[in-house]
């Protein structure tokens, strides 16, 4: 009887389960605005951070420490996606693996039709941040939440934000909410200006003081031969 040669051994890695088919990914905001290119942008170092493997979780609780991750999401839905993710975390009893989920924002003062209002503006449209322990369960929970595309990271593997970038971003958010929003007013004390609107239209005078928080400028006007201080909205005057 003729011996048959043994078949070549199958490499171990060929026995691994095939990867699941890619899930449909919603349309995400593009990076044309150079978010990751700015040196002082907290997202800049994240794409180059050392990728981390998806860790396992034991029955006794979380493994490792929570870290901050960046998620690409559908633009103009950041707040609703954040709420949906938080609901899923709570419903599946996975709170112990998750911390905060935030949409980075800043307060900005706007003037429209002469009226001032303070609005919240997204710092990075198309992205939200999540503080979490990464394992198979948390990874799938996040990825299966509607509107979320993927984690940022190299080679398709989630990469945590660098600690200094996390601190910079969170401190910026705290400073913005703690302080009154400030405007950039292009006048300084002593400048000669002309009033374009209001009771004193076409009057000219010198800037005496500037209130950036409220968007007002005190101008010294000559009224009936006397120097009189008048408060004017900054957008109602121009340099002479």
Supply φ then ψ for residue 16, to 5 degrees.
-65, 150
pLDDT in tens, 206-233: 999 988 777 789 999 988 888 899 998 8
Give pTM, 2 decimals: 0.53
Rg (CA), the chain: 28
- Helices 136-143 and 78-91 cross at an angle (nearest 10°) of 140
Tell me the mean pLDDT in the region 143-161: 86
Contact 204, 191 (CB under 8 A): no
Q: Model confidence over 30-85: pLDDT tens digits?
A: 443 433 433 344 454 444 444 444 454 444 555 578 999 999 999 899 999 999 99
pLDDT cut 90: percent of the chain above it? 33
Tell me what the mean pLDDT of segment 184-209 comes to.
88
In the chain the domains, ranked by start, together with CATH numbers, are 21-178 (3.30.70.940), 192-239 (2.30.30.30)
Q: Which residues pair with 135 in a beta bridge?
A: 55
Between 114 and 53, residue with greater pLDDT: 114
Q: Which residues, other chains included, contact 2 with Cβ-Cβ below 8 Å and sequence gap of 6+?
A: none
Beta carbons within 10 angstroms of residue 84's beta carbon: 17
Residue 165 CB neighbours (<10 A):
20
> Is the confidence at residue 191, as pLDDT, over 70?
yes
Nearest-angstrom CA–CA distance, 158 and 70: 9
- Mean per-residue pLDDT of the chain: 74
pLDDT of res. 46: 46
Confidence category of residue 163, pLDDT binned at 50, 70, 90: confident
Q: Which residue has the higher pLDDT, 62 or 157?
A: 157
């Amino acid at each position: 009887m003729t011996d048959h040669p043994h078949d070549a051994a199958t490499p171990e890695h060929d026995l691994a389960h095939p990867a699941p088919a890619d899930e449909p990914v919603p349309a995400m905001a593009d990076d044309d605005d150079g978010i990751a290119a700015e040196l002082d942008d907290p997202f800049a170092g994240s794409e180059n951070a050392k990728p981390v493997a998806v860790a396992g979780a034991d029955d006794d609780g979380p493994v490792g420490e929570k870290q901050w991750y960046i998620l690409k999401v559908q633009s103009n839905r950041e707040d609703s996606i954040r709420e949906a993710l938080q609901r899923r975390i709570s419903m599946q009893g996975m709170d112990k693996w998750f911390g905060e989920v935030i949409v980075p924002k800043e307060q900005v003062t706007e003037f429209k039709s002469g009226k001032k209002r303070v609005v919240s503006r997204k710092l990075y449209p198309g992205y939200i941040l999540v503080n979490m322990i990464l394992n198979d369960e948390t990874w799938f929970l996040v990825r299966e939440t509607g509107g979320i595309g993927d984690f940022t990271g190299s080679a398709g593997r989630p990469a945590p934000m660098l600690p200094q970038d996390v601190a910079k971003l969170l401190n910026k958010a705290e400073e913005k909410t703690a302080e009154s929003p400030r405007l950039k007013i292009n006048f300084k004390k002593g400048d000669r200006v002309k009033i374009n609107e209001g009771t004193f239209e076409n009057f000219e005078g010198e800037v005496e003081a500037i209130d950036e928080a409220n968007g007002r400028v005190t101008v010294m006007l000559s009224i009936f031969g006397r120097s009189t201080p008048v408060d004017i909205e900054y957008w109602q005057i121009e340099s002479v």
